Amino acid sequence: MNTWAEHHLPELTKLATEIWHHAELRYEEMQSMQAQQRVLRDAGFELTTGVAGIPTAFSAQVGSHGPVVALLGEYDALSGLSQRAGVAVPDPLHPGGNGHGCGHHLLGTAALGAVLVLRDYLQASGQPGIVRYYGCPAEEGGSGKTFMVREGVFDDVSFALTWHPATTNTLFPGRSLANIQCAFHFSGIAAHASAAPHLGRSALDAVELMNIGANYLREHLPPAAKLHYAVTNTGGTSPNVVQAEAEVLYLMRAVDDQATRAVFDRVQDVARGAALMTGTRLTLKFEKACSSFQANQALSEVVSRILGQVGAPTFDDADEVFAAQIQATLPPEAIQGDRQVLRSGKSSAVFARDVIPYSAEKAQELLPGSTDVADVSWVAPTAQFMAACYALGTQAHSWQQVAQGLEPAAFKGMLQAVKVLAGTAITVLEDPELLAQIREEHATRRAEVPYVSPIPADVLPPVNRTFEGQG
């Protein structure tokens, strides 16, 4: 397994580099998807395209019988984060363009590499098993997996694995925040702002009043709840026109679906109040949602054990030189925050060189962000981990992360992820009792709290429209 991964690292690096350069946004990842499909088709995988009615979602499978192992890959980028690789100052490759500020070019490529390892393993060992790679679009602001889960795409999966590029080597927190994203559109009446302002009804006023009300609401939300917003339509650029149309996009988070829905209800009340105060008409567009991640503990323990065996990436002096340049651009508290989570003295000043072991504390830790992997975790036993690809202190969704995306250090972390994903899958496939334990834990949890999709049935993936908002 390790030999295969190292031998094929140049091919995987080439694929990740190609996806990095495409840097496509949610539901537009056509070239990135096709690059992955080309590799999988050449490797003999059977492809299913247009999964769940999403043009940039697909699955690829080898094997005919046995447990279904799902490897989850992503390949979407972020808007406004274009940045030249290997440059430690802000320097957009395409001003105003997109960039891989969350490392999904590495994420999807490592998951794909792992299924290639598993294909060879099944052929060589005769071990029963079906290996399936899921090409999952729009994790950033689109909840692609949530739409896929709602359509039953993962219903026959025995267990699912994924990872995320990071600054440390550890298991993903046991829980994450659920979220809902909704656009609030206000329609008013245009008028001359000086000659006849009394005849106008300002939609922009409604947006501003809604934002003020939401800001006051923050004080009265549960501690983990969060509100984020972006004004996506100000109604034009002429100050002497009463703006007849305006829109604001809200992303609301809380500890679970029920709590998030309660926050959403209160934000809707604020929006209705703003519409009443301004004499405008409010229209809501529910865009997406995702649930709270629920890690499978038995599967997570296996991932942690394999992660410990594989170990941290081996960074060299050349890696450290550029990483130190990046660190010089970071807030000291960001670097110190990463160092505080490391639990041994092996880490250098710029890279995590150790593995943080799994613990009961980690199992209960709450990620302050969100992920649509969460919805997969409700329908199949799921675990995910993080591998160090970036200098300590590097923040996700930043130009610094994009700048490091094609560095040898990033690909070293990606290689470790291939080994951990494949090693975990092989360990579970070879131990039917372990798989039964993993699935029993999942079934028990789901019996206690059944899964209900957080996205209403009449909300479709916005495959013909992009929108803001992030994971």
Domain ranges of the chain: 2-176+292-448, 178-288
Q: Average pLDDT, stretch 216-236?
A: 96
345 falls in which pLDDT band (50, 70, 90)? very low
pLDDT number for residue 341: 73
Q: Which of 86-95, 202-211, 421-430, 460-469 has the lowest mean pLDDT?
A: 460-469
Residue 87: both structure tokens together: 């440059």
Instruction: Name the CATH code of domain 2-176+292-448 (choices 3.30.479.30, 3.40.50.10860, 3.30.300.30, 3.40.630.10).
Output: 3.40.630.10
- Over residues 104-122, the mean pLDDT reads 97
| pLDDT at res. 465 | 47
Distance, CA of 414 to CA of 8 (rounded, Å): 12
State both tokens at 280: 């405008």
CB distance 369 to 292 below 8 Å? no
CA 264/CA 178 separation, integer angstroms: 12
Q: What is the dihedral angle through the alpha carbons of 14, 102, 375, 382, rounded to the nearest 10 degrees? A: 60
pLDDT tens digits for range 382-436: 999 999 999 999 999 999 999 999 999 999 999 999 999 999 999 999 999 999 9
- In angstroms and rounded to an integer, the radius of gyration of the C-alpha atoms of the chain is 23
Q: How many residues does the chain have?
A: 471
DSSP classification of residue 66: S
How many other C-beta atoms are found inside a 10 Å radius of the C-beta of residue 378? 24
pLDDT band at 347 (very low <50, low <70, confident <90, very high): low
pLDDT band (50, 70, 90) for residue 212: very high
Token pair recorded at residue 462: 């916005």
d(CA 227, CA 245): 23
pLDDT at 338: 84
Say what the pLDDT of residue 327 is.
95
| pLDDT of 100 over the 70 cut | yes
Over residues 100-113, the mean pLDDT reads 98
| Segment 16-29 mean pLDDT | 97
The band of 305, judged by pLDDT with boundaries at 50, 70 and 90, is: very high
Res. 467 pLDDT band, cuts 50 70 90: very low
pLDDT at 464: 64
Q: What is the pLDDT of residue 469?
A: 40
Task: Give the Cβ contact number of residue 401 at 10 Å.
Answer: 27
As a whole number, the mean pLDDT across the chain is: 94
Which of helix, strand or coil describes residue 285?
strand
| Domain at 178-288: CATH code | 3.30.70.360
Note the pLDDT of residue 468.
39
In this structure, what token pair is assigned to residue 220?
């009265």
pTM: 0.93
Local structure of residue 228 (DSSP, 8 states)? E
